[in-house]
Chains A and B, each alone.
Chain A
Amino acid sequence: MSANWEIVIGLETHVQLSTDSKIFSGSSTAFGAAPNTQASAVDIALPGVLPVANRGAVERAIRFGLGVNGGLADNINRRSEFARKNYFYPDLPKGYQISQLDLPIVNGGEIAIVSPTRGEIKVRLTRAHLEEDAGKSLHEDFHGMSGIDLNRAGTPLLEIVSEPDMRSAEEAVAYARALHAMVRWIGICDGNMQEGSFRCDANVSVRRPGEALGTRREVKNLNSFRFLQQAIEYEARWQIETLEDGGRIQQATVLFDPDSGKTRVMRSKEDAHDYRYFPDPDLLPLVVDEAWLDRVRGELPELPQQKRDRYVSAYALSSADAVALTQSRETAEYFEDMVDVLGDDAAKTVANWMMGELAAALNRDNLDIPRSPVTSRQLAGLLRRIRDNTVSGKLAKDVFDAMWQGDARGEDAADLIIEKRGLKQISDVGAIETIVDQVLAANSKSVEEFRAGKDKAFNALVGQVMKASKGKANPAQVNEILRRKLS
């Protein structure tokens, strides 16, 4: 595959809103109940029933709109409209899905991500609209027939549509992760991907840089970040190969098969449904007034962007650091807790450790920060000992690993480990001089070379001293004493 292709990706994400009841009925939304035990007359679409919009679902959409727009409400439609999307399917009880088309509740907003190749970028949001989920068709265990479970029918969803602003699978995953963090940050979704609370469709096309957008294919229903990455990588490669072989891309909806790692066509453009959208006459236009907006805004936590701005101005962190530290609310809380303990001037050290040792360990063990074996207080305890020269930066990494393994518990875990393993830094001048003298006596060749003008020999001597002290000697003092003795 030749290199000069640009991949263009936009994502449509279905986020299940964390209301207790459904979007148009009073039934429970709890996951995992026995089939059809959470389906009311409205959910099963008995003749004569009518929908009533759940204010809690609308309010979560408003939170989202504010959350992706820096708390400003200019992207929230004061008057939006529910529309019917008509199609027949056995798990769609009314024969239409209530959604929003021309007037969604949210227009615009952005999600900041860090691209591995482009640094910090903003992914623009096209829109976010409210809709209801369908039920489930169960195709097994019914003696050749299908079963229908309508517990999920009417579950509130926010469909969030991005602009085609992403240029690699990694960027798409970074966006999906940031969006996932955002909806959890503002408390509108539990983020449980196994239960389908957060699922993505990816619109993928490829083009030569500078050319107009290519024909896109939509990869449906990706319910993990790993599948999202694999599906986009496969799909983009397939499109590039097809074009390089002289083929053309036909607009289509495709499914990703995690077992084969391939995508296959579900329906082509010609088979596309005509959904015959029209405004739902059973529901009045959805009106959001300023008082409601003000109340919701007042209840919002500090948003990622607001935190980033504060981190940059108050702690002099780089923008990239600030983005990384606001990946999730828990990450930010971990950071802020450590800074509270250590002081503002420790912020850069804290950031380095979180994005270095901590991130690497979490990544290695496939954990997220709330499940980190090393708590923010424990890590702060360790950094305090680096700052007061009790332990060297190098040995501190050993202390961190020991804490990770659970060698000691409690907020003073670092102290306990340093003590137990004798990792305390040697800063006593006499003790260091003794070691230096021994090293100089045993390495006369290096001493001669240094005196002959070879600077490298000095570093070798430092290394020997550190080795002899088992890494515990204070490196600055070693330097100073060595220079004095050799001069």
Chain B
Amino acid sequence: MINSSLKELAIALALKKVSSVELTQLFLDRIAKLNGELNAFITVDAERSLAQARSADARISAGNAGPLTGIPVAHKDIFCAQGWLTTCGSKMLSNFVAPYDAHVIGRFNDAGSVILGKTNMDEFAMGSSNETSFYGPVKNPWNTGRVPGGSSGGSAAAVAARMAPVATATDTGGSIRQPAALTGLTGLKPTYGVVSRYGMIAFASSLDQGGILARSAEDAALMLNVMSGFDARDSTSIDRVTEDYGRELEVPGGVAPNLPLTGVRVGVVKEHFGAGLAPDVARAVQSALDELRRLGATLVDVSTPNARLGVAAYYVIAPAEASSNLSRFDGVRYGHRAKSYSNLAEMYSKSRAEGFGAEVKRRILIGTYVLSHGYYDAYYVKAQKIRRLIANDFAAAFKDCDIVVGPTSPTVAFELGAKASDPVQMYLNDVYTIPANLAGLPGMSIPCGLGEHGLPVGLHMVGNYFAEAKMLAIAHHYQCATDWHLRSPEGMSA
């Protein structure tokens, strides 16, 4: 049961082979067994989850279940869920019980899914290893001496270790796709504006996007059907016709059953195969490209020459927005407030000095600096220009191809602590994923092999705006022909 797809679980629930309460308990037991070692969850509340499961069972019995009714879903602790501690991985919010539901949480509640718990994450989603969490690092289920990636490391570890069938996550520069690659999962960051940000604690507003960590493209499509859709409370939410993101999965593509990708033009970014890419990752990605060709796709070379500036632009824009977004955490209305202070300035400085960790402080300082008088044009304005250039690069590439592919992360999962003291090395983890955020494009990572030490490697895909259904179909056809996505960490599959 813990390895079942969402569709299989829904059938089992519908046929009463299992109840939502039993299914929820099964995963709660997995959490109880494994969380001590992996630290994937910050908050588990069995009573609350089981109460939701009982409601779901009633709904299933009443015959008005949807595809995700009764299915337990783990949520990144960045989403506000009414009555749940919502920490964002920070001491600052270690006492914050959300009084309202994020749009995404509301959608899952409406769908009848069960909130299985709140997953660990880098503090305020700032990190690529899940080591910046106030609640301690998350361990990679494939090798507990290694990181699961970040910032959605808790969601990734939870799904990879079968502590949850599926999880929500968020991606600002790669926070879904890089952990997906490092833990052998299918990760999807939709087009900016497809998933409402209301109730999702902001890191960098123009880049943040809610998404999914799942075990297959098929599961991810079911999840996106629930999460997506217009929300008037988010001005950047896009009002478009509701679509079924799984609609192309079952449609036989191509000219023959064994050539489902015939006609699909896959763009390969040559710049992605240069210096900095580990050989084991390069080999796995190359064989995935060969597989795509075998399935009927045409490979074309494309170039995104400005993508190399992505990390630099990102580390101006994201901290700039973060420095402002995190100003509300001042100890005045909620969250951590210093115990003693003698005046207002001291209340602010002590509360924030105590409440934020080192990486968050680093980014607030960078962001404050780049927005300062006299530096704004040199940094922020220039970074926005680069952002435009990168979007233009993609627009040009999509004239020649339907999808751009490459490696998700330059290496397989690295050891805990290996990059903790070198922020720039840490930031370079996201060199391949950041451009999609800067351009607002949808991105995915799917497992495509095993590299050094038997650790998973991810294949990165970037589609055009609103091309999620097409990307999911390509990923699905790849997953039908391969079994990388079915691999699970040793000792975690039973």
Contacts of A481 in B (CB 8 A): none
Query: Shortest CB–CB separation between residue A58 and chain B, in angstroms?
Result: 13
Contacts of B100 in A (CB 8 A): 41, 46
Contacts of B327 in A (CB 8 A): 86, 88, 94-96
In the complex, the chain B residue whose C-beta lies closest to that of A52 is B235
Report Cα–Cα, A44/B335, bound state, in Å.
13
Bitwise, B67-100 to A at CB < 8 A (1) or not (0) is 0000000000001100000101000010010111
Contacts of A49 in B (CB 8 A): 198-199
Query: Which of B202, B233, B328, B368 sits near A52, CB closer than 8 Å?
Result: B233
Most chain B CB within a 10 A radius of its CB, from A88, A276, A282, A283: A276
Query: Shortest CB–CB separation between residue B304 and chain A, in angstroms?
Result: 23
Whether the Cβ atoms of B371 and A86 lie closer than 8 Å is yes
Report Cα–Cα, A44/B332, bound state, in Å.
10
Query: Shortest CB–CB separation between residue B425 and chain A, in angstroms?
Result: 28
Query: Shortest CB–CB separation between residue B492 and chain A, in angstroms?
Result: 32
Contacts of A44 in B (CB 8 A): 333
Whether the Cβ atoms of B99 and A86 lie closer than 8 Å is no
In the complex, the chain B residue whose C-beta lies closest to that of A276 is B371
Interface: A53 (CB within 8 A): yes
Interface: B414 (CB within 8 A): no
Tally of contact residues, A, Cβ under 8 A:
28
Query: Shortest CB–CB separation between residue B218 and chain A, in angstroms?
Result: 30
Query: Shortest CB–CB separation between residue A355 and chain B, in angstroms?
Result: 50
Bitwise, B226-244 to A at CB < 8 A (1) or not (0) is 0000001111100000000
In the complex, the chain B residue whose C-beta lies closest to that of A275 is B373
List residues of A (92-109) whose CB comes within 8 Å of B's CBs.
93-96
Bitwise, B198-209 to A at CB < 8 A (1) or not (0) is 111110111000
Query: Shortest CB–CB separation between residue B401 and chain A, in angstroms?
Result: 29
Report Cα–Cα, A277/B332, bound state, in Å.
23
Contacts of A45 in B (CB 8 A): 328, 333
Contacts of B232 in A (CB 8 A): 52
Query: Shortest CB–CB separation between residue B197 and chain A, in angstroms?
Result: 6
Report Cα–Cα, A50/B323, bound state, in Å.
16
Report Cα–Cα, A88/B349, bound state, in Å.
11
Whether the Cβ atoms of A95 and B205 lie closer than 8 Å is no
Query: Shortest CB–CB separation between residue A172 and chain B, in angstroms?
Result: 30
Contacts of A278 in B (CB 8 A): 320-321, 324, 371, 376, 380
Whether the Cβ atoms of B206 and A281 lie closer than 8 Å is yes
Report Cα–Cα, A284/B193, bound state, in Å.
11
Interface: B465 (CB within 8 A): no
Task: Name the prevailing secondary structure of the B interface residues.
Answer: loop
Given the contacts A47-B86, A47-B88, A50-B233, A281 and B328 also touching, CB distance less than 8 Å: no
Interface: A127 (CB within 8 A): no
Query: Shortest CB–CB separation between residue B89 and chain A, in angstroms?
Result: 12
Interface: B392 (CB within 8 A): no
Whether the Cβ atoms of B328 and A47 lie closer than 8 Å is yes
Given the contacts A276-B368, A282-B235, A88 and B330 also touching, CB distance less than 8 Å: yes
Given the contacts A50-B198, A50-B234, A281 and B330 also touching, CB distance less than 8 Å: no
Interface: A211 (CB within 8 A): no
Whether the Cβ atoms of B372 and A148 lie closer than 8 Å is no
* Chain B contact patch, size range: 35 or more
Whether the Cβ atoms of B201 and A282 lie closer than 8 Å is no
Report Cα–Cα, A148/B334, bound state, in Å.
13
Interface: A480 (CB within 8 A): no
Report Cα–Cα, A95/B102, bound state, in Å.
22
Whether the Cβ atoms of B235 and A51 lie closer than 8 Å is yes
Interface: A274 (CB within 8 A): yes
In the complex, the chain B residue whose C-beta lies closest to that of A44 is B333
Interface: B398 (CB within 8 A): no
Report Cα–Cα, A148/B86, bound state, in Å.
24
Interface: B344 (CB within 8 A): yes
Whether the Cβ atoms of A281 and B205 lie closer than 8 Å is yes
Whether the Cβ atoms of B368 and A47 lie closer than 8 Å is no
Interface: A298 (CB within 8 A): no
Whether the Cβ atoms of B202 and A95 lie closer than 8 Å is no
Contacts of A41 in B (CB 8 A): 99-100
Given the contacts A278-B371, A282-B236, A86 and B205 also touching, CB distance less than 8 Å: no
Report Cα–Cα, A284/B205, bound state, in Å.
12
Contacts of A283 in B (CB 8 A): 235
Report Cα–Cα, A214/B43, bound state, in Å.
62
Report Cα–Cα, A274/B327, bound state, in Å.
15
List residues of B (313-328) whose CB comes within 8 Å of A's CBs.
320-321, 323-324, 326-328
Query: Which of B86, B197, B324, B334 sits near A86, CB closer than 8 Å?
Result: B324
Whether the Cβ atoms of B199 and A48 lie closer than 8 Å is yes
List residues of A (143-178) whose CB comes within 8 Å of B's CBs.
148
Report Cα–Cα, A155/B290, bound state, in Å.
60
Interface: B348 (CB within 8 A): yes
Contacts of A281 in B (CB 8 A): 204-206, 236, 321
Contacts of B323 in A (CB 8 A): 86, 276
List residues of A (278-317) whose CB comes within 8 Å of B's CBs.
278, 281-284
Known: A45-B333, A52-B235, A86-B323; 13 extra A-B contacts, CB below 8 A, are A41-B100, A46-B100, A48-B198, A51-B235, A86-B327, A88-B327, A88-B348, A90-B330, A94-B328, A276-B373, A281-B206, A281-B236, A283-B235
Q: List 10 A-B contacts (CB under 8 A).
A: A46-B98, A48-B98, A50-B235, A88-B327, A148-B332, A278-B320, A278-B371, A281-B236, A282-B235, A283-B235
Which B residues are within 8 Å of any A CB, using their own CB? 79-80, 86, 88, 93, 96, 98-100, 102, 197-202, 204-206, 232-236, 320-321, 323-324, 326-330, 332-334, 344, 348, 368, 371-373, 376, 380
Which A residues are within 8 Å of any B CB, using their own CB? 41, 44-53, 84, 86, 88, 90, 93-96, 148, 274, 276-278, 281-284
